[in-house]
Amino acid sequence: MIEVERQAALDAIGAEVAACTNCRLHVTRTNAVPGEGTAATEVVFVGEGPGFNEDRQGKPFVGQAGAKLDALLASVLWSRQEVFITNVVKCRPPENRDPEPAEITACAPFLTRQLEVLDPALVVTLGRFSMARFYPGARIGQVHGTFRLADPESGAPNALTYAMYHPAAALHQGSLNETLFRDMQGVPGALLEARKQRSAAPEPAPGPVEARVDPAAGAEPSPTSDAPIQAVGELDPEGAESDPTDQLPLF
């Protein structure tokens, strides 16, 4: 599918999202938030759900969490214009509560279709609800800053997924700010590894692959261009740790 066809397909999904009444979140939304970005990207960022500002504007990550995401992208010399940004649920949960399982299930086909259209090399999960789709059974305190093959059921069977805390987590818990920026430094390396795996193996390999990227492994690639493939780091040496965002609101 060429870029113009991808954009048309994304626009069509967005129009369906805007009219969707498949779960009760449609009752309280101001605007649905399908997502935005370039159809030419190799990298998709998936958050949890729209907040107050996103609901008002119909755009993802435009409040304080959005400013944090912009800063994270800028730290690796990327911008939101070079990636695609969306959420697990496309309508704001009232009072910024967690999305409920039935709402996530109802909305899941939209994200699946977006991923099928974009066919990203890398999916960056922002927060535990996004992580749960691509890292079933994992705890974000254990897997943040690591990548692995996406769950084939996620909609991105040929992608690597890279787990990060939600940018809003740093707004509620300042100690996570450094963690977020450190994990972000591993994203370009994860993209390089994803390109390497896609070029070497057209079909997804069986079984999980999990690793942590060495941020010093090499030059940072653009998410919309083909940079040379470079080596990445070793398996995650960390053991279990608590999940400091388990009780945090989304925004």
Burial classification of residue 170, based on how many CB atoms lie within 10 Å of its CB (0-12 exposed, 13-18 middle, 19 or more buried): buried
Q: How many CB atoms lie within 10 A of CB 73?
A: 21
Q: Give the one residue of 10, 43, 44, 107 binding ligand SF4; rule: CB under 6 A.
A: 107
Q: Is 32 in the site for ligand SF4 (CB under 6 A)?
A: yes
Site string for ligand SF4, 153-182 (x = CB under 6 A): ------------------------------
Contact 223, 191 (CB under 8 A): yes
Contacts of 49 (CB under 8 A, 6+ apart): 87, 88, 89, 90, 91, 92, 93, 99, 129, 250
Distance of CA 53 to the CA centre of its chain: 19
Contact 212, 146 (CB under 8 A): yes
Contacts of 175 (CB under 8 A, 6+ apart): 244
Q: Is 121 in the site for ligand SF4 (CB under 6 A)?
A: no
Compare residues 113 and 198 and give the one whose CB is closer to ligand SF4.
113
Compare residues 83 and 111 and give the one whose CB is closer to ligand SF4.
111
Residue 239 — φ and ψ, nearest 5°?
-90, -165
Compare residues 93 and 221 and give the one whose CB is closer to ligand SF4.
93
CB of 114 to ligand SF4, least distance (A): 12
Q: Is 43 in the site for ligand SF4 (CB under 6 A)?
A: no
Compare residues 48 and 82 and give the one whose CB is closer to ligand SF4.
48
Site string for ligand SF4, 81-100 (x = CB under 6 A): --------xxx---------
DSSP-based three-state secondary structure for 122 = strand
116-136 CB burial, b ≥16 within 10 A, e <16? ebbbbbbbbbbbbbbbbbbbe
Q: Is 133 in the site for ligand SF4 (CB under 6 A)?
A: no
Burial classification of residue 24, based on how many CB atoms lie within 10 Å of its CB (0-12 exposed, 13-18 middle, 19 or more buried): middle
Q: Is 106 in the site for ligand SF4 (CB under 6 A)?
A: yes
CA dihedral angle for residue 151, residue 152, residue 155, residue 160, rounded to 10 degrees: 50
Q: Is 46 in the site for ligand SF4 (CB under 6 A)?
A: no
Q: Give the one residue of 10, 13, 17, 180 binding ligand SF4; rule: CB under 6 A.
A: 17
Q: Give the one residue of 22, 53, 57, 64 binding ligand SF4; rule: CB under 6 A.
A: 22
CB of 100 to ligand SF4, least distance (A): 10
Compare residues 10 and 32 and give the one whose CB is closer to ligand SF4.
32
State the residues that interact with ligand SF4 by CB under 6 A: 17, 20-23, 25-26, 32, 89-91, 103, 106-107
